[in-house]
Chain A
Amino acid sequence: MEIYGKTVEELFVNAAFAIGDLMTDLQNVEVTKVRRIVAEGTDWEDLLVNYLREVLYLFNGEGLLLGDYAIIEVDPWHVVGEARGEPFDPNRHRINTEIKAVTYHQALVRETEAGWIGRVVFDV
């Protein structure tokens, strides 16, 4: 998956949104829960992978479908963000693609003149 953002905050928000978008139709997801997401990394790539792992855990571990993200603070070693959504309900939500894990394979984060580019491979 390739992700773009004008800023690094936008890159992280778009990457997290893409996970939910691949999994389900986010238009059917209401906002009833808010979760704080905190991750650490050794560089931008590691940080993005670790952040997305936390995002994915909110579904795989807590059963939450999330579609609305914000980044509160970010540097190459830390990120703090928020996510909004609701508990997965098999009667209302359909899982289109199961994402099992976020991998390091070809993980990339670059700042370019046009903005930020990221690449992450998911295990589906």
Chain B
Amino acid sequence: MSEIKLEKIDEYRWMIPPVGGMRVPGIIYSSEELIREMGTDESPKQVANVAHLPGIVKYSLAMPDMHWGYGFPIGGVAAFDMDRGVISPGGVGYDINCGCRLMTTRLSLDDIRDCLQYLVVALFRDIPTGVGSKGVLKLSVKEEKKVLEKGAKWAVDQGYGTPDDLEATEDRGRMEGADPEQVSTKALERGREQLGTLGSGNHFLEIEVVEEIFDEAVAAAFGLEKDQIAILIHSGSRGLGYQICDDYLAKMVKHVGELGLSLPDRQLACAYLSSDQGKSYLSAMACAANYAWANRQMLMHWTRETFARVLHKSPREIGMRLLYDVCHNIAKIETFTVDERQVKLCVHRKGATRAFPPGHPSLPGRYLKVGQPVLIPGDMGTGSYVLVGTEKAMKDTFGSTCHGAGRVMSRNQATRVSSGRSIAKEMAAKGIIVMATGKGTLREEIPEAYKNLDQVVQVVHEAGISKKVARLRSLGCIKG
């Protein structure tokens, strides 16, 4: 553990009392076991570092999948006052609007058991994956700017999916305020050939089966039932988002110097939300968020086509429907009650998922009565969870919850400990078909490299900041 003192508040929360330049306390959602496993991870110090930023409201939060990140910890949530607060590209992360979308089908496990291998191979062939992979499109800059402005709607207008898909996407797949003029030529150049690609690292497309239902009523509202086949896509804004983050980090390091702001880590570079620099980043960030939504929309469309072709069934028979699409690397301007007043805040979620309660106006009509679907991807071969947002999340965590299992080993460590093993064979022995482009990807992504997903989800469930709806088991997976 770092030199940070953690004080236990209750069974699932620990506090870092404000010391030195900390403006607010830190609060970490976790369990005894997860805290113990954290070992020497420096992320509690990063939670404390975030608490130094101007205009931070109430506390610097971390979710149970917390681990070390650049500047902000991954699993970090922090809200800032619109007048006195800042926006920080490091609080969003390099992969802006990295997120998940889950599609349900009318298929059951029996319908695809015999052709699972063909499906995985066909998906691997049809969907561009891997380092610097190029899509089938090479956009003109003019067309790319339309993607940045319109998001998933651009993809639907081009024939990739239906308007119904937009209904089931956070912000309907389009973030307000996107201004392509705030995006550098370099970022545009990196984005031109990568739209419609999965990427590398922990990004994946997975065929899953619903294994267990925890809440029948909510599951029914989400269209989930036991033994149903579903597909989970985890991807983001590719090189475009990375370049935007990088460009603005460089600008803001300079800006912080000019402001004379003293920060505990350069990677926390930021600008006031009310400043031109802050507004410019928000506009560029929205562009990357929109690009990511268009990207996942296209990946979903090709998945629909591949399923129809391999299974010789009509799209209607397969019934692949978007359950929801959420981002887990983003900053959003949202309204919360603070000290009994309704206030607009800028909430940074870096490796954290929005978890809005029933009745929230931003929910699609079909989920208004039950709450927002929360998609939690697991590590390779583990499957995933579907949770639902709660009033408690609104009250305690700025409408946020965890985003995944969270790493306990770095990619290098994972590669070292898995030396000499065939990970694809180990997965096959568990009945999971895995295909990856990069030779090192599977070793970097071994299940031991991650925290136990069940434990992470149990913490947010027990703490009440989201509730378990269903658990899905992995059947086949393609990776970059």
Q: Which A residues are closer than 8 A to B by beta carbons?
A: 42, 45-46, 49-50, 53, 57, 60-63, 88, 95-98, 100-105, 107, 121, 123-124
Contacts and interface: CB of A to CB of B under 8 A. Distances in A.
Q: Which of the listed residues B94, B131, B239 has the most CB atoms from chain A within 10 Å of its own CB?
A: B131
Contact of A60 (B190, B200, B249): B190
B313 interface: no
B246 A42 contact: no
A120 B249 CA distance: 15
B242 A103 contact: no
A101 B245 contact: yes
Nearest to A124: B411
Contacts of B239: 60-61
Q: Which 5 residue pairs across A and B have the least CB separation, nearest first?
A: A104-B266, A98-B131, A104-B267, A103-B70, A95-B131
B367 to A, nearest CB: 34
A61 B189 contact: yes
Interface string B78-113: 000000000000000010000000000000000000
Given A49-B250, A98-B131, A100-B201, 17 more contacts: A42-B253, A42-B254, A46-B266, A60-B132, A60-B239, A61-B189, A95-B438, A98-B132, A98-B201, A103-B70, A104-B70, A104-B71, A104-B266, A104-B267, A105-B265, A123-B70, A123-B94
A109 B131 CA distance: 30
Contact of A105 (B70, B246, B257): B70
B466 to A, nearest CB: 28
9 contacts: A45-B266, A46-B254, A49-B250, A61-B243, A95-B438, A102-B246, A103-B267, A104-B253, A124-B412
A101 B94 contact: yes
Nearest to A43: B257
A98 B246 contact: no
A60 B94 CA distance: 14
Contact of A63 (B132, B200, B201, B269): B132
Given A57-B186, A60-B132, A60-B190, A46 B411 contact: no
Contacts of A57: 186, 243
A100 B94 CA distance: 9
B186 A61 contact: yes
Contacts of A97: 440
Interface residues of B, number: 28
By secondary structure, the B interface counts as helix
B132 A42 contact: no
A124 to B, nearest CB: 6
Contacts of B186: 57, 61
Contacts of A102: 246
Interface of B: 70-71, 94, 131-132, 186, 189-190, 200-201, 239, 242-243, 245-246, 249-250, 253-254, 257, 265-267, 269, 411-412, 438, 440
By secondary structure, the A interface counts as mixed
Nearest to A39: B250
A105 B245 contact: no
A50 B245 contact: no
Contacts of B267: 103-105
Contacts of A101: 94, 242, 245-246
Contacts of B201: 98, 100
A62 B200 CA distance: 19
Contacts of A88: 132
B270 to A, nearest CB: 13
Contact of A100 (B242, B250, B253): B242
A104 B269 CA distance: 10
A105 to B, nearest CB: 5
B94 A98 contact: no
Contacts of A50: 250
